[in-house]
Structure 1
C-alpha cells in the first residue's frame, strides 16, 4: 500500500470513525451499547501509567471440530487433548504472574464429532465459557447448523465471536473486533483482536445456511478496520501496540490466493499503519501446522486441528516478532485434567453414548476408509458404499429411478473400523452434517461439468516439488472436499492433462438394464446426491435443477448397511468407478474394444474389471470423449477463479465465490476472442478447495 493512500485513508476515517463507532449497529439489530460488557468495543485514552515489562503469551486453538473428549493411543499417550486437559493447560499458563496471557480460537469450534453435533455445538460453547477465552473467529462450519444457531452461539458465549467481513443487508453480522485489556493499570498491554472469515464459507457450509450472507474480501476488510481503530485511537489519545488477527482463512493450495491467511499476513507486513507494532495472525481452516514470520513485525501461526496441539506465541519485552510454538498432545499426557470440565465432559459423553450405542451391524469384516487425505483425493471403499446407499435408495425413493449417485468426499468424516460393530454413533460419525438425500434433474452436460470440476484440483507434490503418484503411477490430486465419490457411473481421467481436459470418458448405468452407456450430453438424467451438493455446495453451481428430497443420509446409509455384503468393499482404493488411467493407455483400450467388436464405438477399457463388451449389447455412440483433441466439445473456462473471486468480493456481491471448472462455449462466441484468451489463461489457475 502506498504511503499517500494510507494517509488519505486515515485522515478521512479519523473524521468519520467516532460517529461510525458510536452508532455501530449489528446485522441483527443489536447496537454496540446493547452488547454484554465483555463484547463491547471501547476505545479510550491510555491510563497514565508505566509500560509493562512482562512477556506477552497468546494461547490459541483452531479447527477443534467438537473434540470434547481426550483420546489416547495404544501406548497410553494423549493424541487428542480434549477439553478437560485443554482447560488445565490454559489455566496453568494464565496463572503465571510474569506474563500477560490471551486465549483465543480461530474458528470451527462446535461442529465435527457427533458428541458435539448432538447438541448443535451448544454444550461445547458452555464448556468454552468455563475456560476464559477472550475471543473467537467465526469459521465456515459455525454455520453448519443454520444461521439461527450462529446467532444462538453469540447469546451463549460470554466472549465475542468476531468477523469483520461477514455481512447481511450491508451490516456486519458479528463484531469486527474487540479490545482486551488484561490490566487496566498498565499501559501498553492492550490487545486489539480482529476476526475474519473465509469467503469459501458460501460453499463450505450448506448454501441455505448462508442465504443473504455476504463474505467480503478478507484483506480489504481487515485493513479497513485497522484504519478505523487507529483513527479512533488517535482522536482520544490512545495507542495500541498489539494486534491479533483471528483468521479462519488457511493456506491450502486449493484456496484462492487472495483469500489465504498467508496473503493476509503479507498485506499486514506491508501496512504502514502497523509499522513498529506487534501483529500476530492466528489462522485456521486448512488444518495445517505452520509458523512463519512476515516482514519485521508479523508472526503467523496455525496449530493444526482436532486438538492435536495448542498454539503458543510468546513475545519478550520490546520484541516485534513472536516465538510461535506448539504444545503437543503427547506433552500433556500426564497433565491432570481440570476437574470441573472433566465432569461436564463426562455428563455429555454418558448421554451421547446411551443414545448412540444401538448396533446396526454386529461386525464389520472390512475397514471403510474415511481418511481425509484419501477420501478427498480418489475413489475409496467408504465413498463407494455411501454412494451405493444413495443409489439404492434412488431406485425406489423418488418418482424416477436414479441414473447415478454422488457424494462429496468432504462430507465423509470418519473411518469405520474393521472387526468392530457398526453402531448408530459410528454412522453419524461418518455423516455428521445431518444432510438429507436429494434427487435432482440434470443434463448430460451438467454431469460432464460436474466431473470436470470434481477432478480439477491441482496436483500434490512432495518436498522436492515432484508429483506424488497414485497406485497406477498417475499424479495424485490435492485433497479437495469437493472430490466426488460415485455410484452408477464410471469416469476415466488422466491427471497428466490440464484440469479441463482430464475427463477422458464417462459411462452412466441404465437403471432398467443395468448396462453402462456413454454419457449423452443432451439427455436428461436423475442424480441422487446430498442436499448440500444439490443446492450448489462446494461450488457445484451446474447442479440445482428440479429437486425431490428424502430422509437423512445417515438413515439411508444405516438401512443399506443392514443388507450390504461388506466383503465386496474390501479394496480401500478400487479404481473401478473413478478410474485413474493415462490417456495413452485409455486410447489403447479403446482400440482393443473396437477390435473385439468393430460394430461398437463405446469406450470400455480393459484391465479395470469392467463388464465384458461382448455381454453388453449395442449402444449409441458417445457424444464426446473429453481428452481427445479432435473430438473436444469443451469451451475454455471463464476468467480465472482467483480473478473472478477477487473482483466479485471487492464489489460486495452476494456469496462471492470462485467458480471452478465452469465450461461455457457460448461465452466465447458472444464475447469474442479476448474473453477466450482470458479463459485460456484461467485454465492454469488454482481451483478452490
Structure 2
C-alpha cells in the first residue's frame, strides 16, 4: 500500500513563509524522489565495535549514505552521554567529539543524557555541531529550555519535512534531569505531528527515544509517516501500509538505512505525495571503520588505558555481573559493591540497584582487577550517600526492588548488612517474606542508617521510599561509588565476596 498526502500548493508556500523558511522549489508533476533516512541511538562505548558497531563504523556508514544520496536525513534518537567507562570520567564529552565528525540533522535527548545532571547536558549541547530538539521537555514554567529546538523543518528536493523529536517521559524516574518538566511522550508527540501536518508538511517523521509500548501507540495513531526510535536496544522494522517504523539497535550494531521512494504529482490542483518504503538491513560487521574516527578512538583508548590499567587487587572467587543475574538474584559483584558502600560509610545496611552494575561479564578466580574494571561495572558516576530512615521505609524500598523482577527491571536490590527472603509468586508490593538486619528481625519503628546511591535517594528506579529521612551524607559530601569499591579492593587485596544467601527466594 502506498502512503498518500494531498496539499494545496499555494497553502504549502504560504505555510512555509509563515514558518520563516524560504519557499521550496516547485516539483514538476509526476516527480520521483528517493529520500534516505538513517537513524541511530543508544550509543555508549567509545571503543565498541571490535566485531560490529561503534562510532567508527557508524560514521563510515553515514558518510557513505550521504555520498550516495544527497536527499539524506541523519537522525539521533537518544542516549549517548552515559553510561560508559570513559563517560564516567568525562561525562560524555567523548561521544560529542565522535559524533561531531559526522553531525546529525537532529538529535533527541534520551534519559541517559541527564545521568550527570541538566547542567552537564546543556554544556554538551553547546559543544555539539548539530541541533538538539524535543517537544516533550520544558522548563518548570512550560517555556522552552535554552539550546533545545522543538519541531524541526527540512526542505529536501522540494518536499517539506517535519521532524518531531520525542523524549521519554519517565526520565525523571530513571535519570537526574533536575526540575525540567517532561510531558507525556505519546499524546504530546501525536499533537505535534498533527499540527505539523496542518502546517503543510509533506512528510512527518518522528525521532523518538521511547520504549516499544509507546512506539506502538505512536505508530497506531497514524499521525506519522516514519518513526525512528531508540531506547529498547534491539533491532526491529515494521510497516502497516501507513507508517514505517525502525527500532535502531544499540551501539550501531545493526543499521537500517530507510529509503522512501516518493512520487509527487498534482490532481485537481492539489499536490499529491505518495511513497513506499525500502528497508535496507546493514550488519555493520561488514562496514570498514572510518579512519578519521578510528584515529580519535585510538587516542582516547591509549589515554584511558594509561590511567586506568593499574591493578588494584585480585579476586579469589568468581565475580558475576551478568545483566540477567544482577537484575534477578544475589550477585557476587553486587555483594562486593554493596559491601564496599557499607564499609566506606559505616552504615547499618547498604542497598544499590542491580541495573547500575553494567559490566555484564564474569571474572574468574585469579583475575587481576583494575580501576578500569570497576569503572566498567559502575559507569554512571553515582555518589554514595547515607540516609536515616525507619525500618518500615527499608521494607517499602525492598518491596519496590522486587516488584518488577519478571520485567528485568534495574531496580532489583543488591544488599549488604541484611538477609532478605522474598517470594516471586506473590503480588508486587507483598513479596518480602522476611528481613533481618545484623541477624535481628527488621524493626519497622527503628531508625537505620542506609547507604545507597544518590540516584536512588532521589527516587530513581522507583525508590521513593528511601526519601524523607535525615540525610547524613548527601551527594555533595559523598564519594564516588566506584572509588569506594576501588578503595575496598585495594585494602583487602584479595576479593572474597561470593553469594552467601543474603537474598533467598521461596515460593514459585
> Under TM normalisation by the shorter chain, which class is it?
0.7 to 0.9
Give per-residue Cα distances to partners, 1:300-357, cap 9 Å, x unaligned: 211321332223223233564534454223333xx2x222212222222222222212
Give the CA deviation at 1:527: 0.7
Residues 326 and 203 (structure 1 numbering): CA distance in 2 closer, same or farther, change over 3 Å?
farther
Give the whole-Å Cα distance in 2 for the aligned partners of 1:212 and 1:448: 28
Give the whole-Å Cα distance in 2 for the aligned partners of 1:42 and 1:125: 29
Give the CA deviation at 1:365: 4.1
Match of 1:313 in 2: 258
Residues 321 and 507 (structure 1 numbering): CA distance in 2 closer, same or farther, change over 3 Å?
farther
Task: Say yes or no: does 1:171 pair with 2:143.
Answer: yes
Give the whole-Å Cα distance in 1 for the aligned partners of 2:281 and 2:435: 47
Matches within 5 A, 1:490-639: 490-509=419-438, 516-544=439-467, 545-549=469-473, 550-564=478-492, 568-569=496-497, 574=499, 576-582=501-507
Give per-residue Cα distances to partners, 1:517-539, cap 9 Å, x unaligned: 11111111111111111122112
Give the whole-Å Cα distance in 2 for the aligned partners of 1:106 and 1:298: 17
Match of 2:101 in 1: 130
Give the whole-Å Cα distance in 1 for the aligned partners of 2:417 and 2:504: 13
Give the whole-Å Cα distance in 1 for the aligned partners of 2:500 and 2:363: 21
Give the CA deviation at 1:88: 1.1
Q: Could you state the TM-score of these two structures normalised by the residue count of structure 1?
A: 0.65
Give the whole-Å Cα distance in 1 for the aligned partners of 2:33 and 2:317: 56
Give per-residue Cα distances to partners, 1:238-285, cap 9 Å, x unaligned: x4222221111112xxxxx5xx22222222x2x4xx6xxxx1111112
Match of 2:381 in 1: 434
Report which stretch shifted further, 530-539 or 172-181: 172-181
Give the whole-Å Cα distance in 1 for the aligned partners of 2:170 and 2:220: 20
3-state SS in 2 of match to 1:103? strand
Match of 1:485 in 2: 414
Residues 558 and 567 (structure 1 numbering): CA distance in 2 closer, same or farther, change over 3 Å?
closer
Give the CA deviation at 1:406: 0.6
1:69 to 25, 37, 47: 47
Task: Say yes or no: does 1:413 pair with 2:353.
Answer: no
The 4+ residue runs of structure 1 with deviation greater than 6 A are none
| 8 Å contact from structure 1 (residues 452, 499) kept in 2 | yes
Match of 2:271 in 1: none
Give the aligned CA root-mean-square deviation in angstroms: 2.5
Match of 2:219 in 1: 265
| 8 Å contact from structure 2 (residues 355, 412) kept in 1 | yes
Give the whole-Å Cα distance in 2 for the aligned partners of 1:141 and 1:52: 42
Q: Could you state the TM-score of these two structures normalised by the residue count of structure 2?
A: 0.87
Residues 382 and 317 (structure 1 numbering): CA distance in 2 closer, same or farther, change over 3 Å?
same
Task: Say yes or no: does 1:341 pair with 2:302.
Answer: no
Give the whole-Å Cα distance in 2 for the aligned partners of 1:105 and 1:450: 35
Residues 52 and 447 (structure 1 numbering): CA distance in 2 closer, same or farther, change over 3 Å?
farther
Residues 410 and 48 (structure 1 numbering): CA distance in 2 closer, same or farther, change over 3 Å?
same
Residues 123 and 223 (structure 1 numbering): CA distance in 2 closer, same or farther, change over 3 Å?
same
Give the CA deviation at 1:375: 1.3
Give the CA deviation at 1:557: 0.4
Give the CA deviation at 1:148: 1.5
2:129 to 124, 143, 158: 158
Task: Say yes or no: does 1:203 pair with 2:173.
Answer: yes
| 8 Å contact from structure 1 (residues 52, 187) kept in 2 | no
Residues 125 and 385 (structure 1 numbering): CA distance in 2 closer, same or farther, change over 3 Å?
same
Match of 2:270 in 1: none
Gaps of 5+ in 1: 1-13, 23-40, 73-77, 234-238, 252-256, 396-401, 459-476, 510-515, 584-689
Task: Say yes or no: does 1:370 pair with 2:321.
Answer: yes
Match of 1:217 in 2: 184
Give the CA deviation at 1:48: 1.8
Residues 575 and 282 (structure 1 numbering): CA distance in 2 closer, same or farther, change over 3 Å?
farther
Give the CA deviation at 1:565: 7.5
Report which stretch shifted further, 219-228 or 44-53: 44-53
| 8 Å contact from structure 1 (residues 297, 321) kept in 2 | no
Greater Cα radius of gyration, structure 1 or 2: 1
| 8 Å contact from structure 2 (residues 384, 479) kept in 1 | yes
3-state SS in 1 of match to 2:293? helix
1:181 to 155, 168, 171: 155
Give the whole-Å Cα distance in 1 for the aligned partners of 2:122 and 2:135: 16
| 8 Å contact from structure 1 (residues 416, 422) kept in 2 | no
Give the CA deviation at 1:138: 0.7
Gaps of 5+ in 2: 1-10, 264-273
Report which stretch shifted further, 160-169 or 415-424: 415-424
3-state SS in 1 of match to 2:251? coil
Give the whole-Å Cα distance in 1 for the aligned partners of 2:410 and 2:21: 41
3-state SS in 2 of match to 1:181? strand
Residues 52 and 142 (structure 1 numbering): CA distance in 2 closer, same or farther, change over 3 Å?
farther
Greater RCO, CA 8 A, separation 6+? 2
Give per-residue Cα distances to partners, 1:631-681, cap 9 Å, x unaligned: xxxxxxxxxxxxxxxxxxxxxxxxxxxxxxxxxxxxxxxxxxxxxxxxxxx
1:392 to 331, 343, 347: 343
Task: Say yes or no: does 1:328 pair with 2:280.
Answer: no
Give the whole-Å Cα distance in 1 for the aligned partners of 2:76 and 2:433: 44
1:457 to 392, 397, 404: 404
Residues 321 and 487 (structure 1 numbering): CA distance in 2 closer, same or farther, change over 3 Å?
farther
Residues 211 and 178 (structure 1 numbering): CA distance in 2 closer, same or farther, change over 3 Å?
same
